[in-house]
Amino acid sequence: MKIKIYTSPGCFYCTQLKELLRRADLDYEQQIITGAILSEQFKIDYPTVRGFPYVIIDGEGIGGLIETARLLVQKGLVSSGKK
């Protein structure tokens, strides 16, 4: 599984995402975005990006923290903590 995450400095949700991936024992490549500047090609490839963090797994845009957490729970890589 190839994971790339886009984060911004000081972002609480970005920190939570990295902790989630650590708990799932998943390696990832991180691209830190400063300011609100994204390349035009990135915007074309992933038009649903509205903020950070943003996760791409195996070339597919997943979304932010919540969407990534749902996917990892579905795949059994982390627990939701619900009983």
What mean pLDDT value characterizes the chain?
Answer: 86
Averaged over 67-82, what is the pLDDT? 88
pTM for the whole structure = 0.82
β-strand pairing of 29-32 with 54-57: unpaired
**Which one of 3.40.50.1240, 3.40.30.10, 3.30.590.10, 3.30.365.10 gives the CATH number of domain 3-74?**
3.40.30.10
User: Residues 13, 65: contact at Cβ < 8 Å?
Assistant: yes
Please determine, for residue 71, whether its predicted confidence score (pLDDT) is greater than 90: yes
How far are the Cα atoms of 11, 19, 39, 83 from residue 33, in angstroms, in the given order?
11, 19, 11, 37
pLDDT at 51: 78
- Please, which pLDDT band fits residue 80 given cuts at 50, 70 and 90? confident
